[in-house]
Each structure stands twice: as structure tokens, then as C-alpha cells.
Amino acid sequence: MKPIIKIENLVKEFPIRQGFFNKQVGAVYAVNNVTLNIYKGETLGLVGESGCGKSTAGRCIIGLEKATSGKIFFNDVDLTKLNRKNLRKLRTKMQIIFQNPFSSLNPRMTVKDILIEPLLINKTFPKKEMQMNVDETLELVGLDRSILNRFPHEFSGGQRQRIGIARALILKPEFIVADEPVSALDVSIQAQIINLLEDLKKELNLTYLFISHDLSVVKQVSNRVAVMYLGEIVEVSEVEELYNKPKHPYTEALLSAVPVPDPMNDTSKRIILKGDIPSPANPPEGCKFNTRCPKVMDICYKVHPQLNKLNSNCSVRCHLY
């Protein structure tokens, strides 16, 4: 199957500057040598602890952050080599749903202005068709056109996120980065938004990169899952295989922390990781997980493991394999 998004050796570093002359004294590697494929029509879940680089990777893919190095292909077009004009045309096919629906919507703009603005900027529809497109998109996300003249502060969190989803859909994209789209919502509302995203995927033939730290949500929506630790992909697998037979020790620890419906009768073993995540500005030598890994070996302190393909469905970055 042909990937709609192909990422090769993606690196994003943020410089650390000090002193009167603002001299660079180091760098934080938020995303470090990530290679990943996202296939048309699938939902790829991207999971990991806070600060591991998930959101930065998603923002680099759609161009909100400029990659330090590496290549990003969208339908075989290398986005890193496009000039600003051509990139702007292509970016209408790639959109993002932000984590916080309140801070991502302009409080001084009405819903109508928020949804029409992308159409005006990109000039993708004649002006006489814009209102019809706005009405159709609102209906897709379960909102009535009577809200068009209201402001974001007049809505609940779930309604605001629906407006954010409508803004992402208004340009008819093929690929959407969903950056923790339900983490700021109540649990009951989370289910509604997840079901909405699933329905939209089937109806509009969308492809998602679903970024989240909630493994239960990721299991429900994803076809494949990529696990990220300190800027690196440590495991990629089909969702059933990853949840039933995790390979990487970090993945095992993450899954053991997922709450269960009946904790009194839960016989599964909890894996408690000791210590804190190392600084991305000064990661350990060898395997980056060696400071916390319960299965650490001598080689882990010396040699950095490669992401090895175990079978057609699973790749893992670990010296155990």
C-alpha cells in the first residue's frame, strides 16, 4: 500500500541560547531521526509521555514547525523542498485539530468568520459558494447554522472542539493531525468527539495522525500505533499486536499503567519505572531508555539500537530483539 505521508530521518532541534550575545550553547532534540509511514485511510496513533516530541512531530509534518533536517513527503511530493507558494497550495490538503479548543479559536471572531477565513485566504471557492460550504461543514460536525454569529466563549468545550474540527474540514483535506483532540474535554464529551472523528473518517475518506497520551483512546481509534520516547520512535505495530504483545520495555510499562474497569480483580503486574525522563538537551549514551529500563543490559549503555523490523506488522528499537 502506498503511504500518503512518508517521513524520513526527521529531526527538529530547538537551540539553547545564553549570555549577552545570545550565543547558542546547546540544543534540545525534540524530534530525533524519526522515520514513519502513514497509509491512506488509516489512523496512526502516536503515543508517549508528555514532552516526548509527539506534538512537535505532528506540527513539523504539516509545516507549522520547520524541520531542522530530514524529508517529509505528501503523496510523493517532498514538502521540505517546496517554496512558500507551492507549499501553501499543498497545505490545504493537510490540516490540524488542536488540543485546546478555547485557545485555538480567535475570541474576537464569530463562528462564521472563523470558518470563512481559510476559504478567503486560500481562494479555493467562489464567494457565492462559501456560505453553502460553511453550512454543509457545520452539519457534518453536528452543529446548527444558527450559531454562525456567536463567539467562541458562548459555547461549551465540546461545541468549541466541533468548531475546531469544522475549521479543519472546511478546505476538504485528505490528511488531518489530531493533536490530543479530546484531552481537554470531559469524559462523556470525549466519547462524542471520538465517534464524530470516526464517522468523518469513513464519510470523507480521511487519514489521521492521532496524537495522544491516553492509550485507551488510541486503542479505540487506531489501526497502527507508534510509541515515542525522548524524540525517538521505539515501537511501531498493529494495534492488536501492540496491546496484546508489546515488545519494547517502555511500551510494556505504558500499557501496565492503563486503568482497568475492575481493579480489585486485576491480576496483571504493574511496571513502575524508576527515575525521571532524561533531559532531551543531554540524553544518555547508547539506548535513551537505559536509565529507566527494567531489562537494561551492558550493551544498552554503549550502543544506540536501530529500529528493526521484526515482521510485516511490527518494528522495535531494542537490543533484546
Among residues 88, 65, 63, 64, the alpha carbon closest in space to that of 73 is found at 63
What's the pLDDT band for 265 if we cut at 50, 70, 90?
Answer: low
pLDDT at site 77: 92
Residue 134 in this model has a pLDDT that exceeds 70: yes
Residue 263 in this model has a pLDDT that exceeds 90: no
**What is the Cα–Cα distance from 287 to 86, expressed in whole angstroms?**
39
**Terminal alpha carbon distance of the chain:** 26
Q: How many CA atoms lie within 13 A of 195 on its CB side?
A: 8
If you average pLDDT over residues 41-54, what whole number do you get?
A: 91
126 vs 157, residue with greater confidence: 157
pLDDT at site 213: 87
Cβ-based neighbours of 209, under 8 Å, separated by 6 or more: 5, 38, 43, 44, 46, 58, 61, 175, 176, 177, 178
What is the pLDDT of the chain when averaged over all its residues? 89
pLDDT, tens digit (0-9, with 9 covering 90-100), for 91-128 = 889 999 998 888 889 999 999 999 999 998 888 777 77
- Grid-cell match 531542522, residue found: 68
Q: Which domains does the chain have, with CATH numbers?
A: 40-66+76-222 (3.40.50.300), 238-321 (no CATH)
Residue 188 in this model has a pLDDT that exceeds 90: no
Cβ-based neighbours of 10, under 8 Å, separated by 6 or more: 31, 33, 34, 35, 36, 57, 60, 67, 69, 70, 71, 72
pLDDT at site 266: 65
pLDDT, tens digit (0-9, with 9 covering 90-100), for 292-301 = 998 889 999 9
321 vs 38, residue with greater confidence: 38
Q: Is the dihedral of CA 248, 43, 213, 269 positive or negative?
A: negative
If you average pLDDT over residues 12-39, what whole number do you get?
A: 89
What's the pLDDT band for 267 if we cut at 50, 70, 90?
Answer: low
C-alpha cell at 64: 507549522
Residue 275 in this model has a pLDDT that exceeds 80: no
**What is the Cα–Cα distance from 287 to 16, expressed in whole angstroms?**
23
If you average pLDDT over residues 234-261, what whole number do you get?
A: 88
Global pTM reads 0.91
